[in-house]
Structure 1
Amino acid sequence: MSGIQIMRNKAMMSMVCARCFNTITKRFASRRAERQQKREARMQEVIQEKGALSEAAERVYVWGHAATGALGVSTYLRPESRVHFPLPEQHRPARLRFMDENHIEVYDIACGYGFTLFATKRNRRYMVMGTGLNTDSQLGYHEYPKNSGRVLDYIIEPVPISLPGMTDDKLMNVKQLACGRAHSLFLTKEGVFAQGNNSYGQCGRSIVEGEIFHKVSNIQKIEGLPDNISKMVCGADHSLFLTSDGKVYSCGLGADGQTGLQTYENVGQPERLKGDIDGVKIRDIACRADCVLAVSEAGDVFGWGNSEYSQLSMVTSETQVSMPTHLPVRNCGKVMQVATGGSICALLNEKGEVYVWGYGVLGKGPKVDMLQSPSLLPLPLFGVNELQPEVKVTEVKCGMSHFAAVTDLGDVYTWGKGKYGALGLQRVTVQYFPLKIALPAFTHRVECGVDHTVALSRSYA
């Protein structure tokens, strides 16, 4: 065969290969186009399946510091598989499935320093449950296994808390919970009960020098309170009680004047506050650490306690205020709710607007870290726009250094310091403006601990 013929044969083979390659390529392209069309068709097709008994159900979501067990998800600290590692932090909202799996409905929550309380009901049986840090018996006496003498300092999923003299019927009367640094309060129809650390009288009983709080059962009823307590609030180491007719009582640590009893001494029995709130009907009180805010039915704001970070600089240049003092809050409308953390403060008016002041990450950008008087957070930060012009914030809460707000659309916005994932924004960095977190439910209540957050939500039917 001549060289010319060999070259012709090679050229013909190249043409055949190119033809086959083009055919195969076109075939693959055609199949790819068909798959893409089917995919787009499926995306455009909406299929909704709803059972006959489908209805909205209560859900609990948790996020933040998990190492103490405060989130109540046992697998975070005790993984189900050896290939998984413990999860000390949860950076985004996670559903507390323990409640769903046991058919437990939660109707009240309280967050302490590394622990959480739940007021629950199941099959008409009402009980209080707790999870997290228990080194001062703030969650009661829990022995595991029974009769072993091994008392738990950490509880990693919710367990029942025994209240003295409570039958199943009477447990229906548990109306509210509150948590401090290491003590817990329970408001029932039979009165207010307290347990945990009482070093400063925060449990409403006499201070006993050298008392041991570790691995004991010390829950007791607080004596000296009126029968019409409607709300309780815990600071770090003091307690406040609001009556239905607007009077305020307190006890506990007074080093910063946070008891409001015109003293800097510790108080072991609840006493009624006077000062500028004497004769005024108070509708709301708030405290997370050592600064206290209160608001009256008329919308006036009062404050006392720690003012090292300008929380109360509207009325004093001192760092402490030992009695309730009227704060000249101006141009904020009628105030309905207040909130205060370690050095941050907020108020909510009847229009659903949020005002902030104090020191820290306040929600007004990285250049504003100190405000001596309340300043409005722009409404669009909470979802107000042309399509949703009527959105209102219905609740605002403070952790030690972060905020959380709930709107009437059931959305939750957080801002502040994101340590341990307490903001639920999938990161631990600082958030300088309110940002909506991803929650697959309608939220109607949120509570902030020092470094964790819990939300009560309702699923979409």
Structure 2
Amino acid sequence: MEDEPPPPSQGVSAKALEATLLSALKMLDVGKWPIFSLCSPEEIKLIRQACVFGSAGNEVLYATENDEVFVLGMNCSGCLGTGDMQSTIEPRRLDSLCGKKIACLSYGSGPHVVLATEEGEVYTWGHNAYSQLGNGTTNHGFIPCQVSTNLVNKKVIEVACGSHHSMVLTSDGEVYTWGYNNSGQVGSGSTANQPIPRRVTSCLQNKIVVNIACGQMCSMAVVENGEVYVWGYNGNGQLGLGSSGNQPTPCRIAALQGIRVQRVACGYAHTLVLTDEGQIYAWGANSYGQLGTGNKSNQSYPTTVIVDKDRVVEIAACHSAHTSAAKTQSGQVYMWGQCRGQSVTFPHLTHFACTDDVFACFATPAVMWRLLSVEPDDHLTVAQSLKKEFDNPETADLKFLVDGKYIHVHKVLLKIRCEHFRSILNNDDEIIEMSEFSYPVYRAFLEYLYTDNIRLPPEDAIGLLDLATLYRENRLKKLCQQTIKQGICEENAIALLSAAVKYEAQDLEEFCFRFCINHLTVVTQTQGFADMDHDLLKNFISKASRVGAFRN
């Protein structure tokens, strides 16, 4: 025997309802990335974090509200971490990462993936021809494996990937790199590939780093006093040092002396920084206008980018694209560089609400420049707050007693929402007994006043229809009829028809009658038909005859 659902008197706790409401607020708008068309609407509703990556935006990793991790796509070089190289159009779960809360994620061109958990653990998988997974080998990694060498007792708080090298930032401000090093991008002072994580020292030895980023073959670090240090490939001037020579160890950008930088973002071969005053500086490759300077000339020195007159609060770029984006304090989003094949040389105002949408709709490939996460939002709208307070004894000032059970409500809301209560409620009322309607019906009615919706089976909706008729609640009558239409079946069709006739709901009556005619053989064999009121039966047969229901 199946377990019965809890009786209505238990209701839904305020905390549970609030959690549901907050969960509804926390949904990612991922539909702009084509690969999510492979996911069902039900799957998309559960997504709380996501990253689209790969050479054509053909791979994606996402985490759900239950901290389950799924992947789908082409699976180049085993970058989905499923243990094989099979592509999949169905989401596949990564059991090894389920339950681990993801803090940040980055990816390379192979692609390879570097992920850090909220506990500060680092996992890598995918392409590994240049040791970019940090496990000491050059074998591709088909499943996520933790990177522990030299990171034991270190909490990683940020990760970044270049084309084939990797970099992480620890909570104590240290930077570790590994992987491809043909241009000095791991900052070791040589050009030998680095198979395991090693701390970047040199002039960063005594500095506390607060932000990191990677271009295709270069690396950047912002330290706590706002200085920017760079190393690696510099053929397009992407290091901002005023030259085009590669740099095998970190070097401070002297041209930014006196400017406090907060964030750095790297494109394929260009760099953006955001200062504490909300200004953008850019340098490096500019063949698509990605520096936003109004021309297509490369710049080896930091150059000011004019984005309206508003303060900029976010910059965006990723090493797989030649696209730049920024968001201002007033919420306006600008884009420039390579945008759907066009070269946009000045920051262009978009209709987007976030920089992520720029990369979904205009970058080539359509990837994500960061792990896209739902930000906690504890603010409830007025409507959501009212829903939360229904049947809350802690704030209620009135109780209805129905069938021996209490329903806790608020007088002022009832007066505002219902003409019936406006005329009958008194300030000294504390308990009102109700015997005209059943508990499920009256509870559904009171909840409707808080939520504008009804939740009850079609048979009970008949009683609520009676109440709505009595209280002259026309919108509620329509909702009841809609519920009845959606829940009609052969067994309850006659009962619903009878209710429609009783409450003079002509549209519903016609609907129920048509249903009975279309299922006449089964309906006439039900108990409801056998117990049918004589006058109703007479009218039913007469009407059915007129529409030819009994013809051979």
Q: CA deviation at 1:331?
A: 6.4
Query: Quick one: structure 1 residues 374 and 131, their matched pair in 2 at CA, closer, same or farther if it must change by over 3 Å?
Result: farther
Matched, 1:405 2:326: yes
The aligned counterpart of 1:232 is 159
**Corresponding position of 2:199:** 272
Q: Residue 256 of structure 1: CA displacement?
A: 0.9
Partner of 2:95: 162
- 1:301 positional shift: 0.5
Cα offset, 1:263, TM superposition: 1.5
Q: Report the equivalent of 1:58.
A: 27
SS where residue 199 of structure 1 aligns?
coil
Question: Does residue 184 of the first structure (1) align with residue 113 of the second (2)?
Answer: yes
How many Å separate the matches in 2 of 1:193 and 1:325? 29
Q: 1:282 aligns with which of 185, 199, 209?
A: 209
Indicate yes or no: 2:101 matched with 1:132: no
Moved more, 334-343 or 107-116: 107-116
Distance 1:456 1:437 in 2: 22
Q: Structure 2 vs 1, CA of residues 157 and 259 (structure 1 numbering), >3 Å: closer, same or farther?
A: farther
Q: How far did residue 196 of structure 1 move?
A: 0.7
Distance 1:445 1:350 in 2: 25
Equivalents in 2 of 1:347, 1:98: separation in Å?
38
SS in 1 for 2:177: strand
Q: Is the 8 A contact 1:238 1:259 kept in 2?
A: yes
| CA drift at 1:299 | 0.2
**Deviations along 1:80-139, whole A, 9 cap, x unmatched?**
xxxxxxxxxxxxxxxxx74665431323536343345444233xx102333433120110
| CA-CA distance at 1:429 after TM superposition | 1.5
The separation in 1 between residues aligned to 2:367 and 2:265, in whole angstroms, is 15
Deviation track 1:301-326 (CA, whole Å, cap 9, x = no partner) reads 100011001123526552x2111111
Name the CA shift for 1:152/1:178 in 2 (closer, same or farther; >3 Å). same
Matched, 1:195 2:122: no
Q: Which amino acid aligns with 2:300?
A: Q
Q: Which has the larger helix fraction?
A: 2
State the distance in 2 between where 1:131 and 1:304 align. Answer: 34
C-alpha RMSD of matched pairs (Å): 3.2
Question: If the length of structure 1 is used for normalisation, what is the TM-score?
Answer: 0.66
Structure 1 unaligned regions, length at least 5: 1-51, 75-96, 144-150, 385-389, 422-427
User: Secondary structure of the residue that 2:76 maps to in structure 1?
Assistant: coil
Give the counterpart letter for 2:157 in structure 1.
Answer: S
Distance 1:395 1:192, change over 3 A: same
Task: Give the counterpart letter for 1:378 in structure 2.
Answer: I
1:121 aligned residue: 64
Q: Secondary structure at the match of 1:430?
A: strand
What does residue range 372-451 of structure 1 map to in structure 2 within 5 Å? 372-380=300-308, 384=309, 391-399=311-319, 400-418=321-339, 421=340, 428-439=341-352, 441=353, 451=365
Residues 186-195 or 104-113, more deviating:
104-113
Give the equivalent residue in structure 2 for 1:356: 282
Q: 1:417 aligns to what SS in structure 2?
A: strand
Which residue identity lines up with residue 121 of structure 1 in the other structure? T
More strand by share: 1
Long gaps (5+) in structure 2: 1-19, 382-552
CA deviations 1:49-70 (Å, max 9, x no partner) are xxx9697443234657x5xxxx
Q: Given the alignment of the two structures, is residue 221 of structure 1 paired with residue 183 of structure 2, yes or no? A: no
- 2:251, 2:257 → 1: CA distance? 19
- Higher-Rg structure is 2
* Aligned match of 2:172: 245
Q: Does structure 2 retain, via aligned residues, the 8 Å contact 1:73–1:156?
A: no
Q: 1:267 to 1:152 in 2, by over 3 A?
A: same
2:325 paired with 1:325: no
Aligned mates of 1:72, 1:158 — CA distance in 2 = 10
Using CA pairs below 8 Å that are at least 6 residues apart, which structure has the higher relative contact order? 1
Distance 1:273 1:99 in 2: 45
